[in-house]
């Protein structure tokens, strides 16, 4: 089995329906459509960010080994979201599944459809905490800070708690 050419870090989030089942199905679908799962963080229950008057999220970070280009990976992530019932009704609104590309190798990319690294990662505790489970030493290619340093410097104070429900 040949190794995949690229490493991507993704964040999964769900706050509608059976959140943990959705995350599990998303992992299976990403492995099928996106590449090989290398590492998966713990699951965290997090307060909604941006629009706080909605149900809490379950979030999980994933390291994926992939042969897809960033644009193909985005399309695969959006297909997984759609397959699992994602409807894009309002910015930062409730959703069955959200899949964000946080990093793709050491690439810095900004197009109309995709920005890598994820532009709001340094200010989002709900993304940094699970990412730190699997990529503590990974260095942000623009900021030159490790995930651990980004986590230590994060201004976000919304609660992020380990989730111990049944998988």
Sorted by where each starts, the structural domains of the chain and their CATH numbers stand as 6-162 (3.30.70.560)
Beta strands in 24-132 (DSSP E): 36-40, 44-46, 57-66, 98-104, 109-110, 115-116
Catalytic residue among 98, 105, 120, 149: 98
Clarify whether 98 is annotated catalytic. Answer: yes
- Cβ atoms of 96 and 23 within 8 Å: the answer is no
Clarify whether 124 is annotated catalytic. Answer: no
Question: What are the tokens at 112?
Answer: 């109309």
Residues 6+ apart with CB under 8 A from 106: 141
Clarify whether 100 is annotated catalytic. Answer: yes
Tens-digit pLDDT profile for residues 57-85: 999 999 999 999 999 999 999 999 999 98
DSSP conformation class of 43: P
User: Could you tell me the pTM of the whole model?
Assistant: 0.93
Catalytic residue among 19, 25, 95, 124: 95
Catalytic residue among 19, 36, 67, 86: 86
Clarify whether 86 is annotated catalytic. Answer: yes
pLDDT of amino acid 49? 74
pLDDT of amino acid 136? 97
**Residue with structure tokens 């943990």?**
20
């Amino acid at each position: 089995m040949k190794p995949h050419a690229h490493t991507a870090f993704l964040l999964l989030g769900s706050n509608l329906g059976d959140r943990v089942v959705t995350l599990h199905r998303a992992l299976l679908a990403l492995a099928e459509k996106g590449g090989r799962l290398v590492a998966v963080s713990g699951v965290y229950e997090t307060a909604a960010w941006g629009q706080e008057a909605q149900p809490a999220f379950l979030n999980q970070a994933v390291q994926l080994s992939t042969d897809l280009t960033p644009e193909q990976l985005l399309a695969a992530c959006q297909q997984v979201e759609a397959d699992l019932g994602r409807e894009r009704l309002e910015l930062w609104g409730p959703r069955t599944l959200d899949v964000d590309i946080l990093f793709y190798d050491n690439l810095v990319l900004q197009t109309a459809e995709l920005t890598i690294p994820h532009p709001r990662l340094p200010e989002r505790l709900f993304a940094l905490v699970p990412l730190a489970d699997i990529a503590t030493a990974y260095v942000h290619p623009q900021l030159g800070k490790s995930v651990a340093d980004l986590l230590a410097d994060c201004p976000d104070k919304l609660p992020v708690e380990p989730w111990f429900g049944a998988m």
